Structure 1
């Protein structure tokens, strides 16, 4: 149990110090914990960063009860009106986004979401999502999307949750993304009637489960990201489809 009790503050990064706080947390999770790496990762300074960081808004959850109020949760957010400065969406390195981009909907890409290990399974993710959904309300976002990851690159070991996602949560054609070759892997690895849903959900990362509770869907195919030691799926959340009970759970966010 955390001592003292956390005192959460949710905010957008406003300066370099805020961005560095998020990158330090990302290093702890994506590099130290999950074994990832990347060309711009600064191992000496323990910062997980990439070329897209300057173009995203960085949503931080800080714990003001701890010395220095460290970032204990983080999200990267890029609206469709911010994308031209970056040249493309981050997800376009892994997925064909043609359907999404031609949908006429107001889009926002999510990425680099993580929570410090000491804060998982409690209030932190809910508070981070309240901030996320308030942001969508402020900016009139209609569809959120981005890659979400399973740890590891052994597709056979992930055939149960991947098959479940394909059969039960495939995005509608008008919003459906598709993993790019040569890293595309089929997700329909088991027939629908062979899937144990409870067992599939036990293998599902907490973040993907949370997206499913929001009514989230997935694109076609998984993308194996060996440098980051993950198997990625593309999550698509049509905010018009978020269940009413979930809207209430996350407070002000999403209330029309």
Structure 2
């Protein structure tokens, strides 16, 4: 079993293996599932390559098979990119089967330096966020198995992320939140343009934090008055206090429009903070 490269958190000795930053009790089983679809789940951080491969297989099934993304990968059936080796990988398992049913990857400030950038840097000019870099974590590749999208798995993931941020004294999270280009059976940017025009009125960050897409979706040339709700994950981020940093970028490989989002832990509403702290 191949051990992963050592994590490079400034607050962790470099001779510790991946996963040693995370206390053993973070593997505890949790019960966040609604009663109508209850299933015991376990939250943990990947400690070796085999566990990361499980997350990458889930990502491939969802992004590649379910969503039709064009994935260039060196391992068939796995979604792998150059940032994976620098990230911490958060896993949710179904206790009974041991199957990974949810995942996030987390790129810390120190690892972003080693990687040379964040994934978000490849889609957006993040110059205006430079003063936040030293305390900014990037979240990415979030996905949940189709049979477990009732809310409990994503709440478990968010609870573990909140605990991670608190414990490591980091307070800014960024990421690209995707909107599928496929709408009513047609590949179009109209849904993404409409969602952007809705959210810019209510959830746009202050101008000093605005970023620019490197490959912009032409939102002003598309139909943007559709009555359409944002994807569930984006709505969840907004409930947690996240802000939109600017207009979406077009990701042709994943066939999505990606909204740049930023969330500061201080902006998370008190009721969610209490919930996450109680389940950490």
TM bucket (normalised to shorter chain) is 0.7 to 0.9
Deviates more, 1:233-242 or 1:98-107: 98-107
Residue in structure 2 matched with residue 171 of structure 1 by the alignment? 205
Question: RMSD of the TM alignment (CA)?
Answer: 2.6
Pair 1:250-2:276 in alignment: yes
For 1:33 and 1:77, how far apart are their aligned partners in 2?
23
Cα distance change, pair 5–200 in 1 and its aligned pair in 2 (3 A): closer
* 1:16/1:161 CA distance change after superposition, 3 Å: same
Could you tell me which residue of structure 2 aligns to residue 230 of structure 1? Answer: 256
- The answer to whether 1:159 aligns with 2:185 is no
Q: Which has the higher contact order (CA 8 A, sep 6+)?
A: 1
1:84 aligns to 2:116 (yes or no): no
Instruction: Tell me what 2:127 maps to.
Output: 98
What is residue 112 of structure 1 aligned with on the other side?
Answer: 141
**What does 1:1-256 correspond to in 2, within 5 Å?**
5-40=38-73, 42-43=75-76, 46-66=77-97, 69-103=98-132, 106-152=135-181, 154-180=188-214, 183-185=215-217, 187=219, 199-201=227-229, 204-252=230-278
Distance 2:238 2:36 in 1: 32
Shift in CA distance, 89/58, structure 1 to aligned 2, threshold 3 Å: same
Identify the range of structure 1 (168-177 vs 69-78) with the bigger mean alpha-carbon deviation.
168-177
| Cα displacement (A) at 1:4 | 9.6
Aligned length, in residue pairs: 242
Q: Structure 1: 5+ residue runs without aligned partners?
A: none
- What are the ranges of 5 or more consecutive residues in structure 2 without an aligned counterpart? 1-33, 182-186
Contact preservation (8 Å) 1:5, 1:65: no
